[in-house]
Chains A and B, each alone.
Chain A
């Protein structure tokens, strides 16, 4: 690490930048993510019990619970609340299904100004597109494995 060659020069600088960065508070972030993520799951479970109480069962029950949670995610995104939760909770609000709803709704809101078709509809999946592509792809792979087993 003499700092004389181009590679070392960059490496030295990046190491220096790393020492100057304010540290990420991993424990605090994990605790916030755990708390908020757990709370979202509890809300989901509560919705599930209520729907079961209303007479749903099996796949219908699972589907209806997801639908309600997705609606809540979209609704809170529209109200401008979800990004504030996300800023505090991090992965706690990104990983649950509500986070996926947020990643579709937020570009839809953002690009609405560019028109309904070329803006909102076309750019709705700029964030979630990657998740869908790799989700479907890994689904196919797992399906093939199951097919041959």
Chain B
């Protein structure tokens, strides 16, 4: 039995053998800051636009994840990646720098877990040996995409969230070392009618909360959106 409800179980146990993260200065100040490999000193990451900075962060995270695992570019069979911008442009532009194939994923905030879920499925099935799952976002580019210009003098309600400035990547392989991915849950789209663009947490919570009881940890590849 490889599937129970919406949860799939991986018999051949694909493993996350290496990973890397790049984060912005605000993120590094928090509790997860110490886990980041690279912290940006400036939000532009020495680029001319925030979108280019986002793309560069993603490229850095992917390259670093490959490097940390002791792999070379030729070892990787596939890149699964996405971001928050139109036409998942940061991920597409980041993939331009590599010689391995790219499958774009758009799943808003759950892009990383969906990439990992798909990567684990492909590795488990034996179609690829090493897949990189990665994603990145930038506060400034997301604000522009979804809300108002940065310099607009509007107020943020107390429940407003910040989009992370950062990127992360991991290599999922068929080697038996590192962190084993045992199962993953494919999420459903849950729309509970939240229309407040400033309250993304309330819009996303229903999708993230429905984890089946027989899982210790779920990779939820689903999303809910503020429509």
Q: Is the CB of A105 within 8 A of B151?
A: yes
Interface flag for B1 (CB, 8 Å): no
A113-B158 contact in complex given A17-B202, A80-B151, A106-B152, C-beta closer than 8 Å: no
Checking B151, B155, B193 against A106 with a beta-carbon cut-off of 8 angstroms, the contacting residue is B151
A127-B149 contact in complex given A13-B206, A87-B155, A110-B144, C-beta closer than 8 Å: yes
Interface flag for A59 (CB, 8 Å): no
A interface: dominant SS? helix
Q: Is the CB of B152 within 8 A of A103?
A: yes
B interface: dominant SS? loop
* Min distance, Cβ A96 to any Cβ of chain B, angstroms: 11
Checking B153, B202, B206 against A102 with a beta-carbon cut-off of 8 angstroms, the contacting residue is B153
Checking B154, B157, B159, B192 against A13 with a beta-carbon cut-off of 8 angstroms, the contacting residue is B192
A12-40 interface with B by 8 A CB criterion: 13-14, 17, 20-24, 29
Interface string of B148-181 (1 = CB under 8 A from A): 1111111111110000000000000000000000
Smallest Cβ-Cβ distance to A9: which chain B residue:
B192
Q: Is the CB of B157 within 8 A of A24?
A: yes
Question: Across the interface, which residues of B come within 8 angstroms of A83, CB to CB?
Answer: 150-154
Smallest Cβ-Cβ distance to B148: which chain A residue:
A127
* Min distance, Cβ B148 to any Cβ of chain A, angstroms: 7
Interface string of B170-207 (1 = CB under 8 A from A): 00000000000000000000001110000100100010
A77 to B149, CA, bound (A): 11
Q: Is the CB of A110 within 8 A of B153?
A: no
* Min distance, Cβ B182 to any Cβ of chain A, angstroms: 31
Interface flag for B49 (CB, 8 Å): yes
- In this complex, which of B49, B144, B151, B157 has the most chain A Cβ atoms within 10 angstroms of its Cβ? B151
A10 to B199, CA, bound (A): 15
Question: Across the interface, which residues of A come within 8 angstroms of B157, CB to CB?
Answer: 21, 24
Interface flag for B41 (CB, 8 Å): no
Q: Is the CB of B202 within 8 A of A85?
A: no
* Min distance, Cβ A94 to any Cβ of chain B, angstroms: 6
Interface flag for B2 (CB, 8 Å): no
Binding site for B on A (CB under 8 A): 9-11, 13-14, 17, 20-24, 29, 77, 80, 82-83, 85-87, 89-90, 93-94, 99, 102-103, 105-107, 109-111, 113, 126-127
Please list the 4 inter-chain residue pairs (A to B) with the smallest Cβ-Cβ separation, ordered nearest first.
Answer: A86-B153, A110-B149, A106-B151, A10-B193
24 A-B pairs in the complex with CB atoms less than 8 angstroms apart = A9-B192, A10-B192, A13-B194, A13-B206, A14-B193, A23-B158, A77-B151, A80-B151, A82-B153, A83-B151, A83-B152, A85-B153, A86-B155, A87-B153, A89-B153, A93-B153, A94-B153, A102-B151, A102-B153, A103-B152, A107-B152, A109-B151, A111-B149, A127-B149
Binding site for A on B (CB under 8 A): 48-49, 51, 144, 148-159, 192-194, 199, 202, 206
